[in-house]
Amino acid sequence: MTTAATRTTMGDYFYYFYGMPYSLFDTCWPDPSRDAELAISDRLWVCVQLVALAALTLAVGKLSRMLCVPWALILFLVLLILLLGHFWLNSYQSTLYWDCLLMREQEITEQPMKAERAGSIMVKEAISFFERANPSSVECKLLAAIDDLGLRNHTLVYFTSDHGGHLEARLGHAQLGGYNGIFKGGKGMSGWEGGIRVPGLVRWPGKLPAGNVINEPTSLMDILPTVAALTGGIVPQDRVIDGRDLMPLLQGEIQRSEHEFLFHYCSRFLHAARWRPKDSNAMWKVHYVTPIFQPPGAQACYETNYCQCIGDNVTYHDPPLLFDLSQDPSESNPLTKDTEPLYDLVIQTVADAVEEHRKTIAPVQPHLGPERNRRFVWLLSCCRVFPFCLCDKEGEESARQAAI
C-alpha cells in the first residue's frame, strides 16, 4: 500500500509506504516445507550457540587449569562450530528470507513475511493511515472506512491487478490461480490477453461519473502521471514516461485512450505489441514470441509452473502472428495476407513503433533478483544485524496490544 501526498517533485512524491518490496512469490505462502525450513535454520543457530558456549567453557577451564581436557577436543568443537555455522549461513540463501518481506517505510517488520495474514494486516494499516489523517471511529473495511472518515469525495480509489489468473496454480485438479474467461493465456504470459488484460475499477464520487464503462486500453504505468497531475507533482523529465494521465479519459473529456501503441514484455524481452489506430475501431495485436504450452495440447505451462520468456520453451514467429482483438478477443484465429487486406500495413506500422520504442530504452543494472544480490547476501535487506535476519514485529505488536 502506498499513499500519495501533494509534493512538487517525484523524489519525495510518496511519503508513506507499507507493503512488500517484492512480489508475492509462491515460496512466501504457507507450506509445510516452509515451516520445516525455518525450523531447521532456528535449530542450526541454537546448535551453533550451544557448541560455542561449550567450546568457550572448556577453553576457559583449560587455561585456568580448572578442567583437564585435551586441546584436541576444544579444536574439534571449534571446527564443529565452523561447520554448523556454514550450514546455517547457507540456509540464508533461500528466497524465503530475502523475497518475502513486509516493510513500513524503511523498516522491515516481518522477515520472512507471513503471507496468510498479510492481507488483513495491510487493510488494518490502510485504515490506520486514514485514522491518523482524520481521527474517527472505524469498524469497517477500507472503502467503508474511507466513507466513515468523511474522505469519500476526496479520495481516488483504483482497484486492479498486475496480471491475469495463474492457470498453472493447482491442487490436484482444482484450479487455484483464477479464471481468465475467453482470453488465452495467464500469469507469466505477457503477450496473450489472459496474461495482461485485467479489469480496473475506479471510484471518486463527485469527480468521476458512477457506472461508466470504458473499453479503452490503459496501463498500470498510467498511475504515476495520473497521480502526479492530480497532486501537482512533476514526473521525471530526463527520460521517456510511458504512462499517460487517465483523468481526461475517466472524466469523458476524451473518448480514446492516449495509448496508440502498447508494448508487452516477458521479463525484459518484448513478446507482443498492440496498435489502436486513431481512425479505426480495430485493436491490432502482433505477437513476435509466444510460450510453448506443456504438455502438448494444454493451454498453459504446467510442466514448468510458469511459461518461459526465452529459449527452447518459446516460439519465435517470423512473420509474426496478427489478431484483431475487436473481432477475435480470444486470439483464436491468426490473420494472414489472404484473410486481412491490411496485414502488411499493420505489421509494418507496429514494427516501426517497436523500433522507435526501443530507442527510448536505456539498460540499467538490476537492483533486485538473484543475478545481483545472491552473490552479496550480506547486502540484502535485513531487519536486524546480518545474519540475524528473522523478525516478526507485527506479531510482537499484536501480542503487546493483547496483553494491554
DSSP-assigned letters across all residues of 264-325: EEETTEEEEEEE--TT-S--EEEEEEEE--BSTT-SSBTTTSS--SSGGGEEEEEEEEEEET
Phi, psi of 353 (to 5 degrees): -65, -40
Amino acid at 38: L
pLDDT single digits (tens) 56-78? 888 888 888 888 888 888 888 88
Specify the pLDDT at position 230. 93
Distances (CA, A) of 171 to 16, 26, 30, 167, 174: 37, 13, 14, 11, 5
51: helix, coil or strand?
helix
* pLDDT average, residue stretch 7-16: 45
- Residue 291: is the preceding peptide bond cis (ω within 30°)? no
Helix boundaries (H) for 200-289:
223-231, 247-250
- The larger pLDDT score, comparing residue 326 to residue 267, is at 326
In this structure, of 18-27, 135-144, 284-293, 326-335, the range with the lowest mean pLDDT score is: 135-144
Percent of the chain with pLDDT over 70: 81
Strand order in the sheet with 261-266: 261-266, 269-275, 284-291, 314-324
Could you give the CA distance from residue 47 to residue 53 in angstroms, rounded to a whole number? 10
Provide the pLDDT for residue 94: 65
**pLDDT tier at 215 (50, 70, 90 boundaries)?**
very high
**pLDDT digit string, tens, across residues 153-168:** 999 999 888 899 999 9
- Band (pLDDT 50/70/90 cuts) for residue 92 is low
Lowest mean pLDDT among 49-58, 192-201, 238-247, 324-333: 49-58
Buried b (16+ CB within 10 A) or exposed e, 19-37: bbebeeeebbeeeeebeeb
The model's pLDDT over 126-143, given as tens digits with 9 standing for 90+, comes to 878 777 765 446 334 778
What value does the mean pLDDT take over residues 252-274?
94
Give me the residues paired with residue 315 across strands.
Answer: 290
pLDDT > 60? residue 348: yes
Query: In terms of residues, how long is the chain?
Result: 404
Q: Between 213 and 1, whose confidence is greater? A: 213
What pLDDT does residue 376 have?
A: 60
Q: How far apart are CA 343 and CA 356, in angstroms?
A: 20
- pLDDT mean across residues, the chain: 83
Residue 182 pLDDT class (50, 70, 90 cuts): very high
**pLDDT reported for residue 4:** 33
